Structure 1
């Protein structure tokens, strides 16, 4: 009896061997295609140099890259001459990757697209990329890359596009870039590139877009650039060309559509640009240009003329009248004189979507000739001119302060007249084509940005843009829906798009794109296969988001060369042999499986039992589905790396926030259990409370108290209609610090949060600050038998770029001072309203520079109104001490709280904010304070952080600037 068990096992093993042997000979020669071993080793090295916090590349350890569909790895469908498959594209957009780029990238010798956009990579660009002679698209924008541009990149013979914008690249532009004879797009804006623009670049025959704005370029503007035969956009704003002039040769750029040289320290006269036949956008503002404005006949295509903030004299040229497409004429802050001709606006015919803004403030303009009756869509600003001194009441409305909000968000609502409200099951919604027939469809969600548009106001071009994009994507016009759009600095236009499948009368009422169509559309975006547009300029893909229903649709299987007939033969042969042998061993296999099943069931039961924690309720899926109307999209209020957050109402009427992990989400089992175990024993008024959880088969959800005033980041953003006062900001800082102090000193054992940021500080109905999101938290070291404990925990670096403690990042040693650093960054956000990292600039460095130069009040957020300067100075000092690079130089959290309480005691009685209970704030707080209206927050949620990983994992993005 005892001998029969190993014998049964051996029979099963023999069966498996026989089955494999019976079919493997059919596969030999028919399917021997694998990825080139050199490229496999390179991919493994590339992964080894990356920090994949969210495990997006976890399948890079399994199987063959091309035949096992490694994430982001796309291969040629057939083998090349050497008999191997080769990597064609490396598409790792928005994967929340950090670490560095490996030099082994240079071994992907057949690569055409290298895409690491919108991650958090640091270090320098490897010179070995210059070995990939097949490379066509080099896409590294939106990271934290540093160091100089390698000379070797200038020898890529097939490079079409280089995008390194929004990094920290420094050093000069290599002269070798003049060899990029096929390159059409140089996107290098928002870096720290320095030195002279190499005149040799004039040799580039196909360069179309030259974007180098927001760098540290110096020297002079090379006259030779006018020799570029196909240049359409020259954008060099915010550099310093040392008081030199605009070369007269630039009037010979016959194909130029946009010339933007804003704030470049240029002087001298404005060249006569009338010889540029299609010039549509001219921005020479914020320089030292002098003389008169040339009486030139500008292009009839021009939409924008901005010559403000110069030293121009003379009158407004008559030829500025009657330009049919003009949207903006800004001549403010010059020394122009004479009269203003009403033909500037009277000669224009505007439809309902068109507008014209004339900004003539702060000149010496004496009067208006002609009628001052302005059409409804015309805005005229005259403040600071002699014409406003006139007692004529007709001018009063034109002489006020300009209040135009250039960064407004404009959105639309997908409501289809005649269709019943909310009849589509999530994630379906009514398609815009529902005006023909009410049908439900699951859209593709696309984050999209126009990087250098040739206009000032998108509204009048919206219909034209829809025609352009749908034509470029080969879609019907009504398949595109613009969910929202927003003007950003640059200027740029960021938008969120929804693409819908077409109506199929023979199908059911729920429509989706098929696999091939999703792959085709995504390939059009990621391969930059949508044709360039004169007026819309270059674009960039911010995210391509798939709803749950499209899960795994982007997996592309490389063709192996096996015909269908051969594959059928293999399968049938294997089945025949399997049937022959199966009768011998079926009973034995069943016995083995039953035994394993008992073990697995026992483990699963033990795991469930471990989650039964006192004080935390275990909810069923049905209970939470009922609380959210079956997770209806109308109840969704946010998202993060784990999935989506919903507002729910429990059966007893309690309003809660439900954080639902998406299947295969970025929050793993460890983070889920960590948050439950930690929050179940943490009780403090400045920590968010965990009410319960759901851990049914395939579902992981956490249920929190609902925070009706959203996140601190919401209130500090540029979109906030009622930004908080200084008193309220100080109150939020004190509450946050007290919550973290509790974690460090009163929790047993103490806890290091590890992910403190403005989007993890939530505000309740009374604007009490509560720290949230403990998925990355770690327990502090436990004392040994002698009562001594290490000062740090050694761990893999996790957290959010911009908030990370530099010493922790370098040494992997996590301490309580790591939280102090992160909170210090939050303090700087409270003081300035700035993001931690924006346009390649770090908030700690920027505030330090202002502080040391005695200009600290120049960076303080002016939206918070008046404030006591002494309190602000002390708050700034505390914030900067907390952000010291050396751990020992930072205060402890207890010292932070004490200092904040001292600052609070210094506040005037009338500026004390909303009173809290006496156990949390000094007794001095007694008077109520009028806060920003809570109506500014549309929704509240547990965490509003939108990382790049969310944008590729199927999470619906909120409409927030990057």
Structure 2
């Protein structure tokens, strides 16, 4: 056995020696690939000189523009080209057949140039190819049949060219291809029924071509299809196959202007269908009466020949944005039930376009909310005598996308070349930015504003950035409809990105490494502007292979012989001790000591408590994993926070939370019941909080908004919990992650602060009895809640928690999120305060409230959110001020039998969760002209 291993290493040494000889020569890249690159260069026209460095040196070690190479291989010792990224280089000319000789290439990217000619069939020789990105050029000719035999192809993007001819039937062999983006070409003929064999196809975009024939019913058997978009083709008067109603995973079906006839299939059995557009066809018959998916945002059946009445199944669709039925032959009543029970908070709106039908009367009085637009022009009902009642619905209007936006407001002046980030926790933060032009190719909605925050979360999570590093400058709806965005990406802890971070972000975009989203659909990168970073243009290849790496390989080859015996010894020892090492690895994460009062649960106990972690018991989810409602053997109801793999496994946060919570006991801190640390699982078991998080109840989706007394009592409870951490815990603790989602509510809406995974112990006194006022630590926390001074100096203090709690107070007062729709809550409330317009932004869902209480609460919250640490109150002052505000409320005077003792000894009454109309509260729409009396703090403009 040992002899065999020595033989292997001798062979490896020989290979490395061969590499060494090559590395010391003039040529490192595979010679056939070098000649291929030169041939490719000869066919391209490069007016901007982007490829000038292709004329000297070695492609891989000299970092030719756009050439990314693979590490040395044991097989032949050469470097190989794995990516050719020539995205938006202002290139023209043609694609050389020699591309097929780059046989190790995985990404071929010529997007957004002016390349003409045809797609070389030789590309079909690159069996390693995963991304074929040729969109946005002037390519013509037909699709090569050879592309259909690429076994690893994941994405083919040839959209926005002049490709003609039919789709080759060989494309049915592309078993790994998920994305067919072939829209905006001149592709003709029938869609091959053979494509129904594709097991991985997710997005099938063939809109704006010259397709004819019929829609293949076989496409309904595509097992993974999410988007089928075939608008603006000519299917010769054929019908929509009824089998399309069986596409169980379909999210979007768009067949606009396809010369279709026949009836509208019943799509009610597609559970996740969110977007349906069958407009501008010749469809006839009644609209199906079964209710569509609750996910539906857009229903467009306009400009057909549909008859019958408007069915009731359009009622109770919570996410509906557009129902377009104009220019049909519908008759009967105009329904008023469509918008019933819809929640129009959070920038939601609804357009009901019933123009140019035969609607004759109203089902009852039409009195829609302001967020609902009804269009009835061209119906007989508009000619009725009751013109005053419905006249506003009968005026000539057009339906417009009204959420195009530009965010260019700046309240700070930056040096030349820098841009201002309005979302940063630091005042007037200016930095060198990355500019990104980005487009959603097939979004699953018609109106973007309700999805603004979700998009910010989606993109920053996908890019592994924090929320305030993204600023959406503008959004514009384009023909398609497609949504074009201009984005700015800001560095995190400095005014400039380092080069590796720029390359990482660019590679995330160009490598399509950002996960797909159901609602946002596929994206395309239109431009990636390096801005000030372009002065020394970064080459992606430098991130894969550098001259230093080559030198390291040479030195490594020389040292291999000296280390062979050590390697063999290690391998032999590893073989005999593998099982022991695995066992030790597993045991190393175990809680090192037994903690009094905290139970060590087994995995089996947790399984029984949560019905094997059934989805029916899941009550929440976060970055750490999922939270389940469990019932222990003794009947105790608990919350089980189960870490996902690689989240809390062996992490400091897991042990920190157990150690801290085991010795913290306060009515406003969540209690730890126990933990589980076995079977490669880590779980924390808490007391169950039936009313969830404060954030849940402040959300626009909350069905029972909290009234003002309940909100004030929650604020006071949270403040008392944090005061305990700062002054009575031994030693004191800085929480470091206070936010609305970490404040839990029990059955009586008592606030309890949770999640101590990021907490830090306060400094201990030194020998002379004094202690520093801060802990120096890396910045951790949640964007929007971070103390700006901590963010800038890395000095964590008790006032850092005060700042975060102040943001929570602003959320309680306004219902807004800390960062949402490109806005920072501290900045928004500060501006309203300075304009004496605070009352208009107070959350009107809490009903009436005492105006003087609101005034004092706003002032306290803004004092907590001052940029300067010394300008903020201590937690003792915060609690004292909240108690003063509480004594001003009518609830403070209720009967003593209902009172409870506070930590300060004062008797107060927990308010009910419902309003009392007898209380002398002012309405929530009080004019801001009365705000604010008394001394006002100095607010620094942001």
SS in 2 for 1:153: helix
In structure 2, relative to structure 1, the CA distance for the partners of 1:346 and 1:81 (3 Å cut) is same
Structure 1 residue 539 corresponds to structure 2 residue 523: yes
SS in 2 for 1:449: strand
CA distance in 2, matches of 1:398, 1:26: 79
Q: Which moved more, 1:143-152 or 1:428-437?
A: 428-437
In structure 2, relative to structure 1, the CA distance for the partners of 1:136 and 1:46 (3 Å cut) is same
Structure 1 residue 314 corresponds to structure 2 residue 308: yes
Structure 1 residue 429 corresponds to structure 2 residue 415: no
Decide whether the 8 Å contact of 2:422 with 2:428 is kept in 1. no
The number of aligned residues is 535
Structure 1 residue 302 corresponds to structure 2 residue 292: no
Structure 1 residue 241 corresponds to structure 2 residue 241: no
Structure 1 residue 215 corresponds to structure 2 residue 221: no
Decide whether the 8 Å contact of 1:407 with 1:486 is kept in 2. no
CA distance in 2, matches of 1:111, 1:78: 15
How do 1:667-682 residues align onto structure 2 when only pairs under 5 Å count?
A: none
Q: CA deviation at 1:50?
A: 1.1
Residue matched to 2:337: 343
Residue matched to 1:500: 490
SS in 1 for 2:172: helix
Decide whether the 8 Å contact of 1:518 with 1:553 is kept in 2. no
SS in 1 for 2:509: helix
Which of the residues 450, 461, 476 maps onto 2:440? 450
CA distance in 2, matches of 1:475, 1:368: 52
SS in 1 for 2:338: helix
Structure 1 residue 383 corresponds to structure 2 residue 377: yes
Residue matched to 1:398: 393
In structure 2, relative to structure 1, the CA distance for the partners of 1:326 and 1:370 (3 Å cut) is same
CA distance in 2, matches of 1:358, 1:408: 17
Q: CA deviation at 1:345?
A: 2.1
Per-residue Cα deviation, 1:300-359 (whole angstroms, up to 9, x for no partner): 000000000001001111010110000000000000011111111233221141111111
SS in 2 for 1:478: helix
Decide whether the 8 Å contact of 2:403 with 2:449 is kept in 1. no
Residue matched to 2:464: 474
Residue matched to 1:728: none
CA distance in 1, matches of 2:67, 2:23: 23
Structure 1 residue 411 corresponds to structure 2 residue 396: no
Structure 1 residue 257 corresponds to structure 2 residue 239: no
SS in 1 for 2:68: strand
Q: CA deviation at 1:142?
A: 0.8
Decide whether the 8 Å contact of 1:447 with 1:542 is kept in 2. yes
Greater RCO (Cα-Cα under 8 Å, separation 6 or more): 1
Q: CA deviation at 1:426?
A: 1.6
In structure 2, relative to structure 1, the CA distance for the partners of 1:305 and 1:26 (3 Å cut) is closer
Decide whether the 8 Å contact of 1:515 with 1:553 is kept in 2. no
Q: CA deviation at 1:31?
A: 4.5
How do 1:120-139 residues align onto structure 2 when only pairs under 5 Å count?
A: 120-139=114-133
SS in 1 for 2:536: coil
Structure 1 residue 77 corresponds to structure 2 residue 71: yes
Per-residue Cα deviation, 1:569-625 (whole angstroms, up to 9, x for no partner): 99xxxxxxxxxxxxxxxxxxxxxxxxxxxxxxxxxxxxxxxxxxxxxxxxxxxxxxx
Residue matched to 1:904: none
Structure 1 residue 522 corresponds to structure 2 residue 500: no
Residue matched to 1:714: none
CA distance in 1, matches of 2:448, 2:328: 27
How do 1:315-714 residues align onto structure 2 when only pairs under 5 Å count?
A: 315-391=309-385, 392-406=387-401, 409-415=404-410, 421-422=412-413, 424-504=414-494, 511-552=495-536, 554-555=538-539, 556-557=541-542, 558-559=545-546, 561-562=549-550
In structure 2, relative to structure 1, the CA distance for the partners of 1:138 and 1:404 (3 Å cut) is same
CA distance in 1, matches of 2:23, 2:90: 39
Q: What is the TM-score of this pair, normalised by structure 2?
A: 0.55
In structure 2, relative to structure 1, the CA distance for the partners of 1:559 and 1:239 (3 Å cut) is same
Gaps of 5+ in 1: 1-24, 505-510, 571-962
Residue matched to 2:929: none
Which of the residues 72, 97, 117 maps onto 1:103? 97
Decide whether the 8 Å contact of 2:439 with 2:525 is kept in 1. yes
Decide whether the 8 Å contact of 1:285 with 1:309 is kept in 2. yes
Decide whether the 8 Å contact of 1:34 with 1:67 is kept in 2. yes
Decide whether the 8 Å contact of 2:424 with 2:468 is kept in 1. no
CA distance in 2, matches of 1:125, 1:565: 38
In structure 2, relative to structure 1, the CA distance for the partners of 1:512 and 1:241 (3 Å cut) is same
CA distance in 1, matches of 2:424, 2:441: 32
Residue matched to 1:676: none
Residue matched to 2:135: 141
Residue matched to 1:623: none
Q: What is the TM-score of this pair, normalised by structure 1?
A: 0.54
CA distance in 2, matches of 1:562, 1:311: 69
Residue matched to 1:118: 112
RMSD, aligned α-carbons: 2.1
Q: CA deviation at 1:29?
A: 6.0
Per-residue Cα deviation, 1:464-518 (whole angstroms, up to 9, x for no partner): 10100001111101111100010011110000100111135xxxxxx11111111
Which of the residues 275, 279, 287 maps onto 2:273? 279
Per-residue Cα deviation, 1:394-448 (whole angstroms, up to 9, x for no partner): 22221122233338741112535xxxx31x2121122234343433211110000
In structure 2, relative to structure 1, the CA distance for the partners of 1:404 and 1:273 (3 Å cut) is closer
Which of the residues 140, 157, 161 maps onto 2:155? 161
Residue matched to 1:644: none
Decide whether the 8 Å contact of 1:432 with 1:479 is kept in 2. no
Gaps of 5+ in 2: 1-17, 559-942
Q: CA deviation at 1:373?
A: 1.9
In structure 2, relative to structure 1, the CA distance for the partners of 1:37 and 1:257 (3 Å cut) is same
In structure 2, relative to structure 1, the CA distance for the partners of 1:352 and 1:371 (3 Å cut) is farther
Residue matched to 1:291: 285
How do 1:870-909 residues align onto structure 2 when only pairs under 5 Å count?
A: none
Residue matched to 1:38: 32
Decide whether the 8 Å contact of 1:443 with 1:498 is kept in 2. yes
SS in 2 for 1:447: strand
Residue matched to 2:833: none
Per-residue Cα deviation, 1:544-592 (whole angstroms, up to 9, x for no partner): 001124533522332455455977999xxxxxxxxxxxxxxxxxxxxxx
How do 1:225-240 residues align onto structure 2 when only pairs under 5 Å count?
A: 225-240=219-234
CA distance in 2, matches of 1:80, 1:480: 43
Decide whether the 8 Å contact of 1:49 with 1:100 is kept in 2. yes
